[in-house]
């Protein structure tokens, strides 16, 4: 299975959690890792190039720090620009049908805070629904998200362990993630 990881961190070099994750992924030859903010410093996304890359992979991981209960803005722009009518959805737009997408996000909040009655009221999965529906509208198989909680307060060793758990998670067959 070919997997492409699209990281959308405004400054990956200064990050702790996402950098630990990207560092871990470099050990795997079956994963192509991309840093969206580094590739598009002026935010002009090469739509044809992105669509061609998508055609070549079976699974896509969208990796980002959770910002205001959503993704950093360049990933939203990537979705807006790349998932075009007639290509990703709508008449003739079946190029992404059956491809698997996984969201991988790091949150400052604790796992306990992301539940009914907790400080953040909802689970991260619930808050990812706009992205989930965007992808399912394109016929994509949306797999359960990977979340690292406590990303700011967590120690280096905790983040390194989470990065190993992340690499294992995105290598799992879809059945193992949904059953
Ligand atoms: C602009 C901004 C918004 C954020 N919003 C949230 C949020 O809604 N929920 C949350 O749990 N953490 C939030 N955080 C914390 C980040 O998720 C956290 O700093 C990040 O996941 C740490 O990963 P990194 O070390 O790779 O940067 C926010 C941080 C910033 C800078």
**96, 51 contact by CB (below 8 A):** no
Confirm or reject: Cβ of 20 under 6 Å from ligand 1: no
- Cα–chain center distance at 92: 26
Confirm or reject: Cβ of 68 under 6 Å from ligand 1: yes
**69, 108 contact by CB (below 8 A):** no
Q: How many residues does the chain have?
A: 179
Confirm or reject: Cβ of 28 under 6 Å from ligand 1: no
Confirm or reject: Cβ of 5 under 6 Å from ligand 1: no
| CA-nearest residue, atom 12 of ligand 1 | 108
Nearest to 127 by CA among 150, 103, 98: 103
Q: What does the mean pLDDT of the chain come to?
A: 98
Ligand 1 centre to CA of 66 (Å) is: 5
* Residue-wise pLDDT tens digits, 18-40: 999 999 999 999 999 999 999 99
At residue 148, the pLDDT reads 99
58: phi then psi, degrees, rounded to nearest 5: -95, -30
Q: Is the dihedral of CA 154, 155, 161, 166 positive or negative?
A: positive
Q: Which value, in Å, is the radius of gyration of the alpha carbons in the chain?
A: 16
What's the CA gap between 105 and 21, in Å, rounded?
A: 10
Range list of β-strands (E), 10-157: 31-35, 59-65, 100-106, 141-148
Nearest to 123 by CA among 141, 147, 143, 152: 147
At residue 125, the pLDDT reads 98
pLDDT band at 1 (very low <50, low <70, confident <90, very high): very high
CB atoms within 10 A of CB 54: 19
Distances (CA, A) of 98 to 27, 93, 175: 27, 12, 14
Q: Which atom of ligand 1 is nearest to the CA of 16?
A: 25
Assign a CATH topology to domain 3-178: Rossmann fold (3.40.50)
pLDDT band at 131 (very low <50, low <70, confident <90, very high): very high
**What is the C-alpha end-to-end distance of the chain, expressed in Å?**
20
7: phi then psi, degrees, rounded to nearest 5: -95, 135
Confirm or reject: Cβ of 15 under 6 Å from ligand 1: yes
Confirm or reject: Cβ of 139 under 6 Å from ligand 1: no
| CA-nearest residue, atom 15 of ligand 1 | 108
pLDDT band at 64 (very low <50, low <70, confident <90, very high): very high
Q: What angle do CA 161, 169, 43 make, to 5 degrees?
A: 90
At residue 73, the pLDDT reads 98
| CA-nearest residue, atom 31 of ligand 1 | 67
Domains of the chain: which residue ranges?
A: 3-178
Confirm or reject: Cβ of 154 under 6 Å from ligand 1: no
pLDDT band at 169 (very low <50, low <70, confident <90, very high): very high
Confirm or reject: Cβ of 108 under 6 Å from ligand 1: yes
């Amino acid at each position: 299975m070919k997997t492409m990881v699209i990281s959308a961190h405004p400054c990956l070099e200064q990050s702790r959690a996402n950098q630990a994750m990207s560092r871990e992924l470099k050990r795997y030859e079956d994963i192509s890792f991309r840093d969206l903010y580094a590739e598009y410093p002026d935010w002009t996304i090469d739509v044809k190039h992105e669509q061609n890359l998508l055609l070549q992979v079976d699974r896509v991981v969208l990796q980002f720090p959770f910002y205001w209960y959503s993704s950093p803005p360049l990933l939203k722009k990537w979705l807006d620009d790349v998932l075009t009518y007639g290509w990703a959805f709508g008449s003739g737009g079946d190029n992404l049908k059956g491809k698997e997408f996984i969201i991988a996000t790091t949150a400052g909040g604790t796992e306990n805070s992301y539940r009914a009655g907790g400080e953040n009221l909802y689970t991260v999965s619930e808050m990812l629904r706009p992205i989930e529906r965007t992808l399912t509208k394109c016929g994509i198989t949306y797999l359960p998200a990977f979340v690292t909680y406590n990303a700011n307060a967590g120690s280096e060793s905790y983040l390194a362990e989470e990065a190993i758990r992340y690499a294992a998670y995105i290598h799992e067959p879809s059945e193992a993630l949904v059953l």
